[in-house]
Amino acid sequence: MGILNDDAVLIKEAEKAGDKTLITVNCPDKTGLGCDLCRIILLFGLSIAKGDASTDGKWCYLVFWVVGKPTTRWYLLRERLREVCPPCTLPMAEIYYFRPEFQQPKPPKVFLLKFWCTFDRKGLLHDVTKVLCELELSVKRVKVFTAPDGTVMDLLFVTDTRELLHTKKRQEETKSQLNAMLGDNILSFEIELAGHEVTANPQGSAFLPPAITDDMDNALISKRVSVKFDNELSPSHTLMQILCQDHKGLIYDIMRTLKDYNIQVSYGRFSAKVKDYEVDLFIMQVDGKKIMEPEKQKVICSRLQMELVRPLRVEVMSRGPDTELLVANPVELAGKGRPLVFYDITLAITSLSIRIFSVEIARHKIHDREWEVYRVLLDEGDVALVPRSTIKECVVKNLMGWE
């Protein structure tokens, strides 16, 4: 049986402020590896300033120059990147590709975090979300209840990336870090496995407005994102060139789109310029052929342009007497949603001094594609002081990294 190569992922941290951290990945190749790596880099809140990728179809070599943060846990990033790299020996690689559990992973267990606080201060939910992100816990649903005496009960349904929240040690770690953040504000804290009714119905059924479901006009999109194909430069590959405005997770959005179409990247170079982001990729279909058909090029071009102009959709609307914030992002065919969306939402809402009453996260079918939709019910007393256009603009800027 094979094992993962300890040198599959190497990280050279920036030596001084302003420098980029260098991430090198050297391992066996697999379709969609670039997408998986970029998703993890986005999950850790890093932006890719420049990158190179090359593969012969069996072995790949990728280099990312990323902009980090003082709080980035590089050792944990390296561990997470290594986990998505295929093993180095053939027997293990064959198991990795063809075992059913790798193709159809079991849904993670959902746990309920329930705690009482003395009061619901503004920004509390974001502070809790920040701690949960550091613990690698993903929020799936939130409910906030205020008692007549002013105390608040928060219910958070979460999944654990490490799949250890059923253990006493992991629960104690979670309680300790939340207690340290909440301080005297916390009255009680419990963790338990969520009931079947929470995990059995992830699909949403409520109405979604046209601002979420409708696509933008193609003419408008083509002016903002340029996608060109060239089949003359290489005898075996199609050159795809992309020029567009930079945003948080841009390379991830490109790679997940290509992964959904089973497009393989054999060589690529991408970098952020002063005003735009330039991407050159030598690609081919899963059967090893170039992308020659104009109709197929048109479909891929249209999808990429849409994903790069609107990787997320945001709307603020009325829900009865209340105000609701809606955020939607496409889900990979592999079933994974976009990282850090809830974190960015709570950060934006906190910056506007608005409290969150409840959050529901569900999957919806929009134009035959699965989307993850966040429904955030806002405190009506707070939201009355802030124009809806301001709320939408602030959320969009945080999600796109334009703040």
- Span 320-368, pLDDT tens digits: 888 999 999 999 988 889 999 999 999 999 999 998 888 888 889 888 8
DSSP annotation string for 158-211: EEETTS-TTSHHHHHHHHHHHHHHHGGGEEEEEEEEPPHHHHS--B--S---HH
**Model confidence pLDDT, tens digit, residues 382-403:** 888 999 999 999 999 999 998 6
Residue 202 binned pLDDT confidence (cut-offs 50, 70, 90): low
Task: Please check whether residue 293 is in contact with residue 368, taking contact to mean a CB–CB distance below 8 angstroms.
Answer: no
pLDDT of 213: 84
| Residue 95 pLDDT | 43
Q: What is the pLDDT of residues 143-196, one digit of tens each?
A: 888 777 878 888 999 999 999 999 999 999 999 999 999 888 888 999 999 987
As a whole number of angstroms, the distance between CA 211 and CA 9 comes to: 41
User: Phi/psi class of residue 163: alpha, beta or left (left: φ > 0; alpha: ψ in -120 to 50)?
Assistant: left
What are the pLDDT digits (tens) for 6-63? Answer: 789 999 999 888 899 999 999 999 889 999 999 999 999 999 999 999 999 899 999 9
The DSSP call for residue 232 is: S
Paired strand residues for 363: 203, 372
Q: What is the pLDDT, as a whole number, of residue 97?
A: 43
Full-model pTM: 0.89
Pairing of strands 356-366, 186-193: unpaired
CA distances from 247 to 42, 199, 210, 216, 297 (A): 11, 33, 24, 18, 24
- Which tokens go with 298? 């048109």
Task: Say what percent of the chain tops pLDDT 90.
Answer: 63
The answer to whether the CB of 292 falls within 8 A of the CB of 329 is no
List the one residue out of 330, 377, 306 whose CA is nearest residue 145.
Answer: 377
Question: What secondary structure letter does DSSP report for 310?
Answer: -
Q: Which of 54-58, 172-176, 247-251, 267-271 has the lowest mean pLDDT?
A: 54-58
Nearest-Å Rg of the Cα atoms of the chain is: 22
Q: Tokens 């170079």 appear where?
A: 269
Nearest one of 196, 204, 205 to 112, comparing CA atoms: 196
Indicate the SS3 state at residue 214.
Answer: coil
For residues 113 and 171, what is the distance between their CA atoms, to the nearest angstrom? Answer: 10
Which DSSP category does 345 fall into? Answer: H
- Of the pLDDT bands very low, low, confident and very high (cuts 50, 70, 90), residue 374 is very high
> How many other CB atoms are there within 10 angstroms of residue 33's CB atom?
23
The pLDDT value recorded for residue 92 is 46
Judging by DSSP bridges, how do beta strands 369-378 and 356-366 pair with one another? antiparallel
Asked if 370 contacts 331 with a C-beta cutoff of 8 angstroms, the reply is: yes
Largest CA distance in the chain: 74
Residue 99: the pLDDT is 39
In sequence order, what are the beta bridge partners of 371?
A: 330, 364
Residue bearing the bigger pLDDT, 201 or 209: 209
Q: Which of 207, 165, 212 lies closest to 190 in space, CA to CA?
A: 165
Q: What is the pLDDT of residues 85-94, one digit of tens each?
A: 998 765 544 4
- Say whether 240 sits in a helix, a strand or coil: strand
- 399 vs 118, 250, 355, CA distance in Å? 31, 12, 18
User: Mean pLDDT in the chain?
Assistant: 88
Comparing 104 with 134, the larger pLDDT belongs to 134
Contact 62, 289 (CB under 8 A): no
- Which of 97-106, 147-156, 164-173, 304-313 shows the lowest per-residue confidence on average (mean pLDDT)? 97-106
Structure-token pair, residue 162: 């490490």
Chain position carrying tokens 């104009």? 294
pLDDT higher than threshold 60 for residue 100: no
Residue with tokens 């409840």: 358
CA distances from 326 to 209, 244, 344 (A): 9, 25, 13
Q: Which pLDDT does position 225 carry in this prediction?
A: 93
